[in-house]
Copies of this chain bind each other. A is one copy, B any other.
Amino acid sequence: MGALNLDAFFHPRGIAVLGASGDPTKLGYGLANNLMRSNYPGAVHFVNPKGGELLGCKVYTSVLEVPEPVDLAVILIPALYVPDALRQCGARGIRAAIVGSGGFREVGPAGERLEAEMLAVAREHGIRLIGPNCIGLLDTHLPMDTTFLPPPGPTPGEVAFISHSGAICAAVIDWARGQGYGLSRLVSLGNQSDLGETDVLAPVAADPFTRVVALYLEGVKDGRRFVQEARRVTAHKAVIALKVGRFEAGRRAVASHTGALAGQESAFNAAFRRAGVLRAETSEEMFDQARALAWCPLPRGSRVAVLTNAGGPGVTAADALEAHGLQLAGFTAKTRSALDAILPPAASLGNPVDMLASAAPEQFAASLRVVLSDPGVDSVMVVYPTPPMFTAGAVAKAIIPVIHAAEKPVVVAVMGERMIQEAVEHLRAAHVPEYRFPERAAAALAALVARVELQKFARDEAVRPVGEMPHLAAQPLGLLTAYGIPLATLKLARDAVEAVVLAEELGYPVALKIAAAEISHKSDVGGVLLNLNDGEAVRRGFEAVVQRVRQARPDADIEGVYVQRMIDEGQEVIVGAIQDPQFGPLVMFGSGGTEVEGLKDVAFALAPLTRSDAEYLLENTWAGRKLSGFRDLPPADRDAVLDVLFRLAQLAADHPEIAEIEINPLRVLPSGKGAVAVDVRLA
């Protein structure tokens, strides 16, 4: 498809407003008024069949009459008339339209048909659409405001916002004003009949005023394209997303542990990580963090200095930092002696630095300068309630120049509400991220560190393992072999006598496993026997296994019983892959066995795998961490596990027709000895 040119939306030379109204109770009046008030520098053309005049401008009775220049139509008329209006826009040569009108898919089948008709008209005329059922689009720097929301709109700023919900847009504009940050662009996507979140992401981020893109997502349309586009954007700008609709029911039936454990959210987390997109847990967190991402330089590491004038706030800050995975920086002797020269003897010169309640604004500033210059400090949190003898505002004024001169991020937690308003205003005007609570300031610093770490994931390319990679689905076992994944020898016995012969060949002890394509959890139906030590045990075992499975699953077509040499050395892990409906192939790694779903010691990544993602899987599971050895457990062949992961990921990527494939257990032998797939399940 190539990079989408949405200039007609973001830099229109003229805008036609279809449905502009002179009636102040109508949304069409609000829209016309906002566009005029926004100081949009292009041409504005109002269209309404009634004609007349509005806000000092002529109202055209049809879009066909609108003179040049006009690149964009904003349509806010009853849904039924929208297809015809689009036809006229097409005839007029307009190739971009924002349809604000509701009454489409969201109201039921009739609306759905109307939306399909509208889209067909747009396609026919080569018109790209935002909406319908959306708030519109605004840009505070161009400037331009095509929304119909009651004024005031947002102040100009560095955070762009793209949203699947119009109501959230309205709230965000108001939050932003109240919380003292500006917006650069805002796009409400509505029903996404044509353009969706992935289409507008890069064009929105291309704006030079935008430093951070915040996304409110209820899903994504094309998962892989989203990842691809987002990776391009996150290479130079921060993207932070709030993904809602986490707990929706209606998952498909699954046959494997991997399938059971892979909620929709595992795929989203894997995709956001690969794309370098930060994931916020709450709306508030998204904007708290967006402000820090917009205003702060990125830190080199995760070592934080806390500067405070009281003990309690210092402890609270230290707790919050550690809860977010950050570290309290250790200070050099030079730092400690410099602080000693600034502060009274009872002050605490460790980290957190407690300057005591008596600390004057100049002491805040001087101490901040000192900790910022410590090479072991990557970022700083200043946290203070109003000092008893000074105003919170005086402290803010004193530290702002130090913060501006620093190349390290500094966030400020000014504790209180009414008494600290002056401080808040100074900090906001100076673009210093400020919070009321140290816990939120800590989350903001953590987002800066996460941004740095995510860049590593987003830059890494997928590993293509060497070896034969057939593009033909085969038997699970054949397929694994073809992809170079080592398998424990497994032989099919049709009867008990053959089983004994095969067991003698393979060597004892052996395992017996029912051979029946329909049965994916063999042990659940008594289809597995382990540790058989002689021919008699194998003979009796064969009969027992077949009988139990017949009883449990009379429908199953039993081919016989597999005989396998027992492998009980090494560590046991699970490696699986599924096809996610939104993001395609997804790989899982973790603690195997039959209790996978209970222990939930698993992690997911997109397939094919990058090296960073493969390492992530190992570092974020106990199964992965203990591969390096634990107590009497010797180190296992970690590289062999990585190799199997790359290969299975490639297999899943090459074979979208395989819904689920799972190796459980994969036995990981001691270092240098490799790993062996003992059992494989495929669906």
Contacts and interface: CB of A to CB of B under 8 A. Distances in A.
Given A247-B319, A319-B246, A322-B246, A420 B174 contact: yes
Contact of A385 (B171, B218, B320, B630): B171
A68 to B, nearest CB: 33
Contacts of A345: 107-108
Interface stretch (A2-10, A595-603, A649-657): A595-603
A416 B174 contact: yes
Nearest to A165: B312
Interface string A338-361: 000000011000000000010000
A216 B174 contact: no
Quick one: copies of this chain in the complex? 2
Contacts of A165: 310-313, 315
The size class of the interface chain A forms with chain B is 35 or more
A70 B313 CA distance: 35
A302 to B, nearest CB: 14
A543 interface: no
Instruction: Give 8 nearest A-B pairs by CB, closest first.
Output: A178-B417, A165-B312, A167-B310, A174-B416, A171-B415, A282-B439, A247-B322, A107-B346
Given A165-B311, A315-B218, A416-B174, A436 B284 contact: yes
Nearest to A527: B632
Interface string A286-320: 00000000000000000000000111110110111
A150 to B, nearest CB: 7
A594 B174 contact: no
Nearest to A601: B599
Contact of A168 (B170, B177, B313): B313
A601 B312 CA distance: 32
Given A167-B309, A320-B282, A346-B106, A175 B436 contact: yes
A178 B424 CA distance: 13
A622 interface: yes
Interface of A: 25, 27, 106-108, 148-150, 163-168, 170-171, 174-175, 177-179, 216, 218, 242, 244-247, 281-284, 309-313, 315-316, 318-320, 322-323, 345-346, 357, 385-386, 388-389, 415-420, 436-440, 521, 523-526, 591, 594-595, 598-601, 622, 625-626, 630-633
Given A175-B417, A310-B165, A386 B170 contact: yes
Contacts of A178: 416-418
Nearest to A385: B171
Contacts of A166: 310, 312
A440 B312 contact: no
A559 B27 CA distance: 90
A626 to B, nearest CB: 6
Contacts of A440: 282, 284
Contact of A283 (B418, B437, B524): B437
